[in-house]
Amino acid sequence: MSQKPTRHLPVVVIGGGQAGLSMSYFLTQAGIAHVVFEKRRIAHSWRSERWDSFCLVTPNWQCKLPGNPYAGPEPDGFMRRDEIVSYVETYAKSFGAPVREGVGVTKLSRYGARAFMVETAEEKITADAVVMAVGGYHTPNIPRSAERLPANIMQLHSSGYRNAAQLPPGAVLVVGSGQSGCQIAEDLHLAGRNVHLVVGSAPRCPRVYRGRDAVDWLADLGQYDLPVDQHPKREAVRRQANHYLTGRDGGRDIDLRRFASEGMILHGRLADIADGKMHFGDDLVKNLDGADAVYNGICDLIDRHIAEKGIAAPPASRYRPVWQPDNPPTSLDLAAAGVGSVIWATGFRSDWSWVDLPVFDGSGYPTHQRGITTQPGLYVLGLPWLYTWGSGRFVGVGRDAEYLAHHIGARLGAATAEAAA
């Protein structure tokens, strides 16, 4: 392909998920010409990286895509995977988002002092501004010790899990107790499989407390509007695991102790794999207690709010453990336990290797203030805690997109004025 650009656009948006589409919505409103490049299909992550029984964890009312908030019959319900895909697809159509599906950006670099070169397999476009809305979940984060699993055990990442029937007979061992790991373990447990769950330090949250969804209380408390620079953990909160709970069957707590009392086998954090055995840390008690402490801490927050505002609500309660580990073994002979498959619910890494711009910090995270990067004209959108808790979710991405659209509009306006002077 020639080095010459084929055309110029004021803005290129990279990524056709909810973040890229929200950006496109505000650019469309402002009359700013742009294109959205989507490597696969609109809503790819929801469509292709979630299991069959997947439901939102956040209530439907939090689906606040700008210009098209959730308007269905169940604002307090939790959309299932296919409904989410349809919500996002309908959104793109609602304002004619200029999405080019199946076109991945293979390289992003500077073009002259002020513009960018955006390269795809089909063309090279220059742009005055570029918004990277590619999410943060690119590459399955599977520990290298996976290489030492016996070859007869099927292994897959949580993003490849669909349902219990996809797995060979035998027990299933799920590694990781974040949102995905807990929900997949529950899915398998409900399907009647023997499940082992390797439990880490992820926190948990009540579903319903004192008569309302905890998310509703936390919204009233302003938790979803708190900017990252005012959070007690500051930017470190971006690396924190999500709380586990579920929206399945109308929503409920996820209580690993209850699963254990029903036969699920819980283990401490994965330490090593050797000679057909998995070895675990002796931290199961600590991890379960830690998750419950966060759960009860959220109840404390809600209680204080109710007391301060004098709200009439059902009485306060606290989680009381329904099961305790009894000296759990710190290793498991996989063949003896009949383990036929292992699911790595161990998260994702980001892949920004296609971005040829000096914009990343030492850990490879794009340096930015509320999505405005250190490279003038380059923006990032949709990352967890980009600005608030909701930035990487349906509830907050619209606010961030609107903020960036104003910034982009001002930048393009200033450039036009400069050229005319």
Per-position x/- string for 303-342, each x denoting binding to ligand FAD as judged by CB under 6 A, each - no binding: ----------------------------------------
Spatial neighbors of 260 by CB under 8 A, at least 6 apart, are 266, 323, 325
# residues near ligand FAD by CB under 6 A: 30
> Helix 397-420 to helix 18-29 angle, to the nearest 10 degrees?
40
The tokens describing 102, both together, are 């199946």
Q: Check if the beta carbon of residue 20 is closer than 8 Å to that of residue 38.
A: yes
Please report whether residue 17 would count as binding ligand FAD according to CB under 6 A. Answer: yes
Please report whether residue 284 would count as binding ligand FAD according to CB under 6 A. Answer: no
Scan residues 69-88 and list those touching ligand FAD (CB under 6 A): none
Q: How far apart are CA 10 and CA 408, in angstroms?
A: 9
Q: Which is nearer to ligand FAD, 99 or 278 (CB)?
A: 99
Neighbours of 239 (CB within 10 A): 11
Please report whether residue 10 would count as binding ligand FAD according to CB under 6 A. Answer: no
Spatial neighbors of 164 by CB under 8 A, at least 6 apart, are 172, 187, 188, 191, 192, 193
Q: Which is nearer to ligand FAD, 87 or 209 (CB)?
A: 87
Helix, strand, or coil (residue 40): coil
Neighbours of 4 (CB within 10 A): 7
Q: Check if the beta carbon of residue 370 is closer than 8 Å to that of residue 403.
A: yes
> Smallest gap, in angstroms, from Cβ of residue 418 to ligand FAD?
30
DSSP bridge partners of 131: 13, 379
Binding-site member from 9, 11, 13, 18 for ligand FAD (CB under 6 A): 18
Q: How far apart are CA 64 and CA 380, in angstroms?
A: 19
> Smallest gap, in angstroms, from Cβ of residue 15 to ligand FAD?
3
Q: How far is CA 85 from CA 42, 91, 196, in A?
A: 8, 10, 31
**Interacting span for ligand FAD (CB under 6 A) from 128-136, 224-232, 311-319, 359-367:** 128-136
Binding-site member from 9, 11, 12, 19 for ligand FAD (CB under 6 A): 19
Give the containing element (helix H, strand E) for 402: helix 397-420
Please report whether residue 59 would count as binding ligand FAD according to CB under 6 A. Answer: no
Scan residues 355-384 and list those touching ligand FAD (CB under 6 A): 382
Please report whether residue 38 would count as binding ligand FAD according to CB under 6 A. Answer: yes
Q: Which is nearer to ligand FAD, 104 or 325 (CB)?
A: 104
> Smallest gap, in angstroms, from Cβ of residue 350 to ligand FAD?
10
**Interacting span for ligand FAD (CB under 6 A) from 10-18, 223-231, 322-330, 399-407:** 10-18
Please report whether residue 291 would count as binding ligand FAD according to CB under 6 A. Answer: no
Please report whether residue 198 would count as binding ligand FAD according to CB under 6 A. Answer: no
Q: Which is nearer to ligand FAD, 132 or 171 (CB)?
A: 132
Q: How far apart are CA 6 and CA 14, in angstroms?
A: 18
Q: Which is nearer to ligand FAD, 134 or 256 (CB)?
A: 134
Helix, strand, or coil (residue 365): coil
Please report whether residue 394 would count as binding ligand FAD according to CB under 6 A. Answer: yes
The tokens describing 276, both together, are 């057909």
Q: Which residue is nearest to ligand FAD (CB)?
A: 17
**Interacting span for ligand FAD (CB under 6 A) from 25-33, 53-61, 277-285, 318-326:** 53-61
**Interacting span for ligand FAD (CB under 6 A) from 55-63, 142-150, 161-169, 398-406:** 55-63
Q: How far apart are CA 182 and CA 56, in angstroms?
A: 14
Binding-site member from 9, 23, 27, 57 for ligand FAD (CB under 6 A): 57
Spatial neighbors of 375 by CB under 8 A, at least 6 apart, are 110, 357, 358, 359
Q: Note the residue count of the chain.
A: 421
> What is the C-alpha radius of gyration for the chain, rounded to an integer number of angstroms?
23
Per CB under 6 A, residues contacting ligand FAD are 14-20, 37-40, 44-46, 56-58, 104-105, 133-135, 137, 179-180, 354, 382, 392-394
